[in-house]
């Protein structure tokens, strides 16, 4: 078919023009990003990795270590500078979390959740909320739990039933939350509750002191992984909170939650990257030292093929996460789609990398003398939380069925 113009098509000129337009595309990290990564890696090597096995075995929540992370700004990485945060981009924060997660995936995962909740509170909260909680949360002196999931509202978060009824100048909150990270050991609950009618538009967000009258906590769940952070159910019975504790306007809660989860998906994907990188490094060292049939295991072609696939999948996941983080930073119209893609791809591929690393260790990978089984246990839940990977596929598929202009 002839072009709808009299001008001849000049592919070479078009390519040259497009190249000129895109000459600012750079996949290398800048000096500042390298510095962030180096600082995070040093912290992980000194404060996280040497104690990760102990925390895992004893289900120890290392609050003092998290406070030391806060001293370096790691508890407020992408909170706005005007509110006292570091003001980093989501891409920069992702680089930090990736390095920290190589030291202790479980503890870093909690720090990412704390960052998300702190960002919600400081970005959308009023002056009174920020004055009460902002500085303490951003320094790590106080810790936050994010409370969205309910017994009957997991993937279908908009159907949550926890209620917040107006009572004079206060709200009375009743309901239950489950699978809440840090619950029982944190200081503030960033909690979603229904102030209006059914659906997403009836949900509002609140900052509630974790020790408020009427709040009770269940037992610390015995989990497969993530043992260095407690996970409990929360029951709220006539919990009275002042109206000024509301974060954002009435009915804005679900929008705040979903905005937080875009970043949360990047964060948890970054934790998977860190776990996979640590697993690959451990496996690489092991197969070079381990000898079978008179030669190093690394000399077998099958081992080399497995390592090649692990490294390729890790790099592919890294690039997808960094692209999605960049889209989020740019406020791209399809940022939520890309964050879902990154979370789905990175958590699936990186779990496989951890599992393959365990397999390369044979029986030694299955015992706790080596960290491989912990990498596998800690990274498995990443495919479930922040929206299951099945829900990520739903988000992506809806966008695909609309059109493919986002590609």
Query: Which active-site residues does the annotation give?
Result: 386
Picking from 275, 278, 189, the residue whose alpha carbon sits closest to that of residue 234 is: 189
Q: Which helix (H) or strand (E) holds 91?
A: helix 90-101
191 membership: H or E segment, kind and range: strand 188-194
Residue appearing with tokens 């979903």: 258
Q: What are phi and psi of 2, to 5 degrees?
A: -70, 145
Cβ atoms < 10 Å from Cβ of 131: 10
Q: Are strands 215-217 and 231-242 parallel, antiparallel or unpaired?
A: antiparallel
Buried b / exposed e across 164-182, counting CB within 10 Å, b at 16+?
Answer: beeeeebbbbbbbbbbbbb
Taking each continuous run of H as one helix and of E as one strand, the counts in the chain are 13, 10
| Nearest C-alpha neighbor of 136 from the set 188, 207, 213, 82 | 188
| Pair 264, 116: CB distance under 8 Å | yes
Q: Token digits for 256?
A: 């705040």
Handedness of CA 169, 174, 179, 183 (dihedral sign): positive
């Amino acid at each position: 078919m002839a072009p709808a113009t009299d001008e001849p098509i000049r592919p070479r000129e078009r390519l040259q023009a497009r190249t000129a337009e895109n000459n600012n595309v750079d996949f290398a990290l800048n000096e500042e990003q390298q510095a962030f990564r180096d600082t995070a890696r040093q912290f992980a090597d000194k404060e996280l990795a040497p104690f990760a096995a102990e925390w895992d075995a004893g289900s120890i929540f290392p609050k003092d270590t998290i406070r030391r992370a806060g001293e370096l700004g790691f508890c407020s990485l992408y909170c706005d500078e005007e509110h006292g945060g570091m003001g980093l981009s989501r891409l920069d924060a992702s680089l930090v979390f990736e390095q920290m997660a190589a030291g202790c995936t479980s503890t870093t995962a909690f720090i990412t959740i704390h960052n998300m909740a702190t960002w919600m509170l400081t970005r959308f909260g009023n002056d009174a909320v920020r004055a009460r909680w902002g500085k303490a949360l951003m320094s790590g002196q106080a810790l936050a739990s994010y409370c969205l999931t309910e017994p009957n509202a997991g993937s279908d978060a908009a159907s949550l039933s926890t209620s917040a009824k107006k009572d004079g100048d206060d709200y009375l909150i009743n309901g239950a939350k489950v699978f809440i990270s840090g619950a029982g050991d944190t200081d503030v609950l960033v909690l979603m509750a229904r102030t209006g009618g059914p659906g997403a538009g009836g949900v509002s967000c609140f900052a509630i002191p974790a020790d408020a009258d009427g709040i009770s906590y269940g037992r610390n769940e015995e989990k497969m992984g993530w043992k260095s952070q407690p996970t409990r159910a929360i029951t709220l019975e006539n919990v009275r909170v002042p109206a000024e504790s509301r974060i954002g306007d009435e009915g804005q809660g679900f929008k705040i939650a979903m905005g937080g989860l875009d970043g949360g998906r990047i964060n948890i994907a970054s934790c998977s990257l860190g776990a996979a990188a640590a697993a690959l490094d451990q496996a690489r060292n092991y197969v070079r030292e381990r000898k079978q049939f008179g030669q190093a295991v690394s000399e077998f072609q099958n081992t080399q093929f497995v390592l090649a696939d692990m490294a390729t999948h890790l790099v592919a996941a890294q690039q997808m996460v960094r692209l999605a983080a960049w889209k989020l930073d740019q406020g791209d119209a399809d940022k939520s789609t890309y964050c879902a893609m990154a979370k789905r791809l990175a958590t699936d591929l990186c779990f496989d990398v951890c599992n393959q690393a365990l397999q390369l260790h044979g029986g030694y990978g299955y015992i706790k003398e080596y960290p491989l089984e912990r990498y596998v246990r800690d990274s498995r839940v990443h495919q479930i939380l922040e929206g299951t990977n099945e829900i990520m596929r739903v988000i992506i598929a809806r966008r695909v069925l609309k059109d493919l202009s986002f590609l």
